[in-house]
């Protein structure tokens, strides 16, 4: 599980069947101080998090497969929470 920030959204019509109908967002991973770390990644967003909101990502595929109800889904990253306050993350 990692801390990340929503930096954008993605539209893809040609995709794996399990991805159809799900909201896919671009997330920027953050370090403990709230600074950007590495390149942005994709994530499935069942919560409808807003732009620049901080979220918690789960990188475990089994939770995502359960969410999309497809045991053959290749998806991995799932947003499991929207952060209200992270005291160590300076903003």
Partner 1 sequence: MPRLRRGSESERESESARLAPLETSTSTSTTTLTFTVTLTFTVTVPFTFTPMRLGTVIGRVTLTQKEPVYTGGRLLIVQPWTRAQFAGAKVPPLPKGSSVIVYDELGAGLGSAIGFTEGAEAAQPFPGDAPVDAYCACIVDQLAYTPPR
CB of 50 to partner 1, least distance (A): 12
Q: What are phi and psi for residue 46, nearest 5 degrees?
A: -80, -10
Cβ nearer to partner 1, comparing 11 with 85: 11
Q: Which of 21, 33, 69, 71 binds partner 1 (CB under 8 A)?
A: 71
Strand order in the sheet with 78-82: 24-29, 41-44, 78-82, 54-58
Q: Which of 3, 30, 43, 49 binds partner 1 (CB under 8 A)?
A: 43
Measured between alpha carbons, how far is residue 34 from residues 21, 37, 40 in Å?
31, 9, 14
Q: Which of 23, 26, 56, 80 binds partner 1 (CB under 8 A)?
A: 26
């Amino acid at each position: 599980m990692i801390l990340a920030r929503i930096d954008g959204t993605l539209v893809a019509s040609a995709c794996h069947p399990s991805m159809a109908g799900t909201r896919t967002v671009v997330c920027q991973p953050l370090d403990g101080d709230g600074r950007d770390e590495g390149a942005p990644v994709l994530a499935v967003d069942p919560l409808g998090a807003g732009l620049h909101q901080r979220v918690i990502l789960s990188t475990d595929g089994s939770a995502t497969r359960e969410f999309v109800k497809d045991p053959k889904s290749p998806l991995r990253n799932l947003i499991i929470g929207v952060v209200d306050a992270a005291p160590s993350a300076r903003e």
